[in-house]
Amino acid sequence: MPRPTPRVLLYALPLFILLGCATTPNTRPASDTERDALSAAADGQFDSALRVAKMYQAWNDPRALDWYARAAATIPRTHRSTGAEEQLGRLLERGRLDSSDEPQKPEDVRFKPSPRKALRWYQSAAYHGSPYAMSDLARWYEREGDMAGALRWRLRSAVYMRELYKLDALRKAIHASTEAARLAPDQPSTNATIARIQRRAARGDAEAQVDLGALHEAGIGMPTDMREALRWYQRAGEQGNVYGQYFSGLALGRGSKGLPKDETAAAAWFARAQAQEFYLAEESYWRRAIAPPFFIFE
């Protein structure tokens, strides 16, 4: 019997993430506001579920977590669904429902922080297309000391945002390995992290293939080469990796030095990513994403 793929497991996670959340039994009598909100939420719509989630959050009631999860799971998915996922990540990471940084009083504590559960919600949002979640994940991995994870999400955010120029400090830090790659392009990188990405990509790891494509696009650890970047994105995309599909669309739709623009081919890749509920791959979004920027940083 085939094992579930990471992608399938990712979609299943939101159904189970909240099972371990500690909650406090609620003894407050139901108000008319609460009864009305719960009655309206029986329609199964996003706005109704979100209204209940925000109501409980304002009351410091941990049932807000469950209702944010319900909002995130409503069909059809939109960019607002990822907003609910991101909010769950932030609440679980902080272990509190308000936005204050002041220490909580013992009587105000309703659940413990859960960085791992927060991570799962950030991942769910990112794999549904949220650029904010990409940044959340980069920050999360940096704080945990996982530089490979931080590099992955910094690259993905920068590719989408056209902000590869912001990675100059990282580019300069591994300049030596870039020069080595230029002189010996068929050899493993002298940088241990990049060499590990290369090995995993060569073995068929789709996530590592996206990472390697982004490194080629950014010119980090190797010379900038959009054709090679696209080759790795497409290899990942053919395996069903949604970032491989989306970044293939971006590369072809934007075009670049050495890679002619091909909007028809780009649209086909975006359609594959959209089929996986990656909202940035909807036509209204991807057309804005491939439009020429006001400023181009070379």
Angle value at C-alpha 159, between 158 and 160, nearest 5 degrees: 90
Average pLDDT over residues 18-25: 44
Average pLDDT over residues 70-86: 95
Quick one: pLDDT at residue 9? 44
Distances, alpha carbon 170 to alpha carbons 89, 193, 218, 298, in Å: 27, 13, 10, 16
Give the Cα separation of 41 and 183 in Å (integer). 62
Quick one: pLDDT at residue 26? 56
pLDDT tens-digit readout, 206-234: 999 999 999 999 999 988 999 999 999 99
Domains of the chain, by residue range, sit at: 9-18+35-98+113-128, 167-290
Spatial contact of 134 and 156, defined as CB atoms under 8 Å apart: yes
Residue 171: pLDDT over 80: yes
Q: Which has the closest alpha carbon to 10: 134, 150, 124? A: 124
* DSSP per position, 188-208: PPSSHHHHHHHHHHHTT-HHH
| Percent of the chain residues past pLDDT 90, beyond the cut | 71
Mean pLDDT of the chain: 88
Average pLDDT over residues 87-107: 89
Average pLDDT over residues 104-131: 91
CATH architecture of 167-290: Alpha Horseshoe (1.25)
| Percent of the chain residues past pLDDT 70, beyond the cut | 84
Quick one: pLDDT at residue 257? 86
Taking the alpha carbons of 77, 81, 17, 44 in that order, is the dihedral positive or negative? negative
Quick one: pLDDT at residue 295? 55
Residue 183 pLDDT grade (very low, low, confident, very high; cuts 50, 70, 90)? low
pLDDT tens-digit readout, 45-74: 999 999 999 999 999 999 999 999 999 999
Average pLDDT over residues 249-264: 95
* DSSP per position, 123-156: HHHHTTT-HHHHHHHHHHHHHHT-HHHHHHHHHH
Residue 169 pLDDT grade (very low, low, confident, very high; cuts 50, 70, 90)? confident
Spatial contact of 128 and 119, defined as CB atoms under 8 Å apart: no
| CA dihedral of 44, 45, 46, 47, whole degrees rounded to 10 | -120
DSSP-derived 3-state class of residue 290: helix
